[in-house]
């Protein structure tokens, strides 16, 4: 790994951490609702895995999904807006914390049903085989999911049909308040793959480099040999299961002990000891990330709530194979469009452009306007982008 990349991964983990710390605050302030599952402590798994994926690869994950979207390059402004239920959110305010999708980056998002997306990962793998490309699909889920039937059905067909899927257990030792000891007959979860003859291994999920190495090897196997892998990343969540969980089922000492091997701390140490970065470099990037979070919050504050009619959008795809005259009596069909709506690319988070940056005169064919419109701020740009498709 080159030095710059090592630093960039540090920044990614830090961004996830600071993003989620801010989320926790906003939740307490009542600006984020519903379930909020924080990834704090587990960052090295998502960041490490994502760092060895190709841009055209796919991922599908469970509801503890903020880290994957950020590591895969989604704009944090769109994500925080989603959490705050804004129209500018990456899912237009319809998904919330558990449902961060970013399809242009191959991210099929967060699934709210424990184990429910594992069959879908197998389906993506099957689709890849049918299309005969060398893409792969990464699938992330918690230790709780291995007890669902869907896990077993998915692993079986993935092995049976040689599907290029890498299944990654984020073993944070608990499914809500139930420890592995009380939920799984076999304590080494990765061993469950032996029932299906699937290559398997466990990896220290607090160690970014270890995760990277293990995932890279599994991806290579999927890409080249079309073989699935089951990885078990040993990790830990510092916060409760969700914001409403005080975590009474584990001791303070246990949490503090785990925090000693914090993935960001460990990676920072490595940057200093082996990559010739200084503590000042790390402090500077932290400041930069915190400033980015301020701009992120500002974006959300200038974002509108979803207009009521958007409730009916995105249920169906408009189709020439449906009798639309009859269907359109239903507002969900009336609002259906042919296209998919992809998240917008926002202008960088800067202040509004200076007046002289505007075009001197509008192009001749454009409507006469009382003064050229100001370049939109990022939130306006997002609203325009999300409203424009299909209309």
Residues forming the site for ligand TPP (CB under 6 A): 37, 64, 112-114, 142-145, 170, 172, 174-176, 241
CB 44 within 8 A of CB 205: yes
> Which residue lies nearest Mg ion, judged by its C-beta?
142
Confirm or reject binding of residue 306 to Mg ion (CB under 5 A).
no
Q: Could you tell me which stretch among 1-9, 14-22, 120-128, 138-146 binds Mg ion (CB under 5 A)?
A: 138-146
Choosing from 280, 326, 351, 360, the residue that interacts with another protein (CB under 8 A) is: 326
Neighbours of 338 (CB within 10 A): 10
Choosing from 57, 111, 207, 234, the residue that interacts with another protein (CB under 8 A) is: 111
Report the site for another protein in 154-173 (rule: CB under 8 A). 154, 156-157, 160-161
Supply the DSSP symbol for 378: H
CB nearer another protein, residue 10 or residue 333: 333
Q: Cβ contacts of residue 217 below 8 Å, gap of 6+?
A: 229
Size of the site for another protein (CB under 8 A): 66
Question: How does strand 178-179 pair with strand 174-175?
Answer: antiparallel
Angle ∠(54,56,60) on CA atoms, nearest 5: 90
Q: Cβ contacts of residue 8 below 8 Å, gap of 6+?
A: none
Choosing from 7, 31, 123, 173, the residue that interacts with another protein (CB under 8 A) is: 123
Neighbours of 331 (CB within 10 A): 13
Confirm or reject binding of residue 116 to another protein (CB under 8 A).
yes
Least distance to ligand TPP from the beta carbon of 308, Å? 28
Least distance to another protein from the beta carbon of 147, Å? 14
- Find the length of the chain: 391
Least distance to ligand TPP from the beta carbon of 295, Å? 29
User: What's the 3-state SS for 103-120?
Assistant: HHHCEEEEECCCCCCHHH
Q: Is 61 helix (H, G, I), strand (E, B) or coil?
A: strand
Dist CA 173 CA 254 (whole Å): 11
Q: Cβ contacts of residue 235 below 8 Å, gap of 6+?
A: 41, 42, 44, 45, 170, 171, 172, 205, 206
Least distance to another protein from the beta carbon of 35, Å? 14
Binding mask 153-172 for Mg ion (x = CB under 5 A): -------------------x
Give residues in contact with another protein (CB under 8 A).
58, 60, 89-95, 99, 101-103, 108-109, 111-113, 116-131, 149-150, 153-154, 156-157, 160-161, 313-317, 319-324, 326-327, 329-330, 332-333, 337, 340-343, 386, 389
């Amino acid at each position: 790994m080159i030095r710059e990349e090592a630093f960039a991964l540090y920044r990614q983990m830090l961004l996830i951490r600071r993003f989620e710390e801010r989320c926790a605050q906003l939740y307490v302030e009542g600006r984020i609702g519903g379930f909020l599952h924080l990834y704090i402590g587990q960052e090295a798994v998502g960041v490490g895995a994502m760092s060895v994926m190709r841009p055209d690869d796919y991922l599908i994950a469970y509801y503890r999904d903020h880290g994957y979207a950020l590591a895969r390059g989604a704009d944090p402004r769109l994500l925080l807006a989603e959490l705050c239920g804004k129209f500018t959110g990456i899912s237009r305010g319809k998904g919330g914390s558990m449902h961060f999708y970013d399809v242009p980056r191959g991210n099929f998002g967060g699934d709210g049903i424990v184990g429910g997306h594992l069959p879908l990962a197998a389906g993506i793998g099957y689709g890849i085989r049918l299309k005969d490309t060398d893409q792969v699909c990464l699938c992330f889920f918690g230790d709780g999911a291995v007890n669902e039937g869907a896990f077993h059905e998915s692993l079986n067909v993935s092995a049976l049909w040689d599907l290029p899927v890498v299944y990654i257990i984020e073993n944070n030792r608990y499914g809500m308040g139930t420890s592995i000891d009380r939920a799984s007959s076999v304590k080494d979860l990765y061993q469950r793959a032996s029932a299906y003859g699937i290559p398997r291994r466990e990896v220290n999920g607090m160690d970014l480099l270890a995760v990277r190495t293990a995932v890279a090897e599994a991806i290579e196997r999927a890409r080249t040999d079309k073989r699935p892998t089951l990885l078990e990343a040993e990790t830990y969540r510092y916060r409760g299961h969700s914001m409403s969980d005080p975590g009474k089922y584990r001791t303070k000492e246990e949490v503090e002990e785990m925090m000693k091997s914090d993935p960001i701390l460990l990676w920072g140490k490595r940057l200093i000891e082996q990559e010739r970065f200084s503590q000042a470099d790390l402090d500077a990037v932290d400041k930069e990330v915190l400033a980015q979070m301020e701009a992120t919050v500002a974006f959300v504050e200038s974002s509108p709530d979803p207009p009521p009619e958007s409730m009916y959008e995105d249920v169906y795809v408009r189709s020439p194979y449906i009798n639309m005259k009859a269907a359109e009596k239903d507002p969900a069909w009336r609002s259906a469009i042919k296209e998919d709506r992809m998240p917008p690319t926002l202008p960088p988070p800067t202040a509004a452009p200076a007046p002289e940056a505007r075009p001197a005169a509008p192009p001749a064919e454009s409507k006469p306007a009382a003064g050229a419109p100001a370049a939109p701020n990022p939130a306006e740009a997002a609203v325009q982008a999300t409203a424009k498709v299909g209309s």
